[in-house]
C-alpha cells in the first residue's frame, strides 16, 4: 500500500503552494530551497541547530549549506523522487520557527532587542 505522504507533487503544484504559503521558498533543480541571512556565525549556528532539531523531530532530513552569514536549506523526499507533503510541512515549520518574532505578537515575550547588533542573529525578511 502506498503512503500518501510519499506521493511526489508536480512542479506546478509545488510552485503554486509555495507562492501561496511560503513565498520566500523556491523550487529549484528538484528541491525546495530557502536561504536565511544571519548577522554572523553565531546566528548561522543557531539557524542550523534549529533546522536540525525540527528535521530530527519530523524524521525528515534536509540538506544544509552554510557560510559565515547565511544558511541554505534544501528539502526533497528521496524515496518519492520529488517534493511531497512532508517537504512542504517541514518547510512551513522551519519558516515559522526561524522567523518567529515574539515582539510582534500580543504576549509577554519581548524578543531580541532591535537596533543593537550585539543581540541580533537573523536578518528578518
- For the stretch 46-79, pLDDT in tens is 999 999 999 999 999 999 999 999 999 999 999 9
1 pLDDT band (50/70/90 cuts)?
very low
Dist CA 8 CA 48 (whole Å): 26
Which residues contact residue 3 at a Cβ distance below 8 angstroms, ignoring those fewer than 6 apart?
Answer: none
Q: What is the pTM of this model?
A: 0.91
Q: How many other C-beta atoms are found inside a 10 Å radius of the C-beta of residue 5?
A: 14
**Separation between Cα atoms, residue 71 and residue 17, nearest integer Å:** 22
Give the domains, in start order, of the chain with CATH numbers: 4-100 (3.30.1360.20)
- φ/ψ of 32, rounded to 5, equals -95, 140
Q: What is each CA distance from 65 to 15, 23, 34, 51, 120, in whole angstroms?
A: 22, 20, 11, 12, 21
Amino acid at each position: 500500500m502506498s503512503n500518501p505522504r510519499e506521493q511526489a507533487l508536480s512542479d506546478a503544484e509545488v510552485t503554486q503552494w509555495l507562492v501561496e504559503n511560503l513565498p520566500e521558498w523556491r523550487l529549484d533543480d528538484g528541491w525546495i530551497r530557502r536561504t536565511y541571512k544571519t548577522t554572523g556565525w553565531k546566528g548561522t549556528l543557531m539557524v542550523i541547530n534549529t533546522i536540525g532539531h525540527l528535521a530530527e523531530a519530523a524524521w525528515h532530513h534536509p540538506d544544509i549549506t552554510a557560510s559565515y552569514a547565511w544558511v541554505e536549506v534544501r528539502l526533497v523526499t528521496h524515496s518519492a523522487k520529488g517534493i511531497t507533503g512532508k517537504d512542504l510541512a517541514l518547510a512551513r515549520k522551519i519558516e515559522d520557527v526561524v522567523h518567529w518574532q515574539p515582539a510582534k505578537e500580543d504576549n509577554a515575550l519581548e524578543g531580541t532587542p532591535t537596533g543593537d547588533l550585539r543581540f541580533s542573529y537573523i536578518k528578518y525578511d
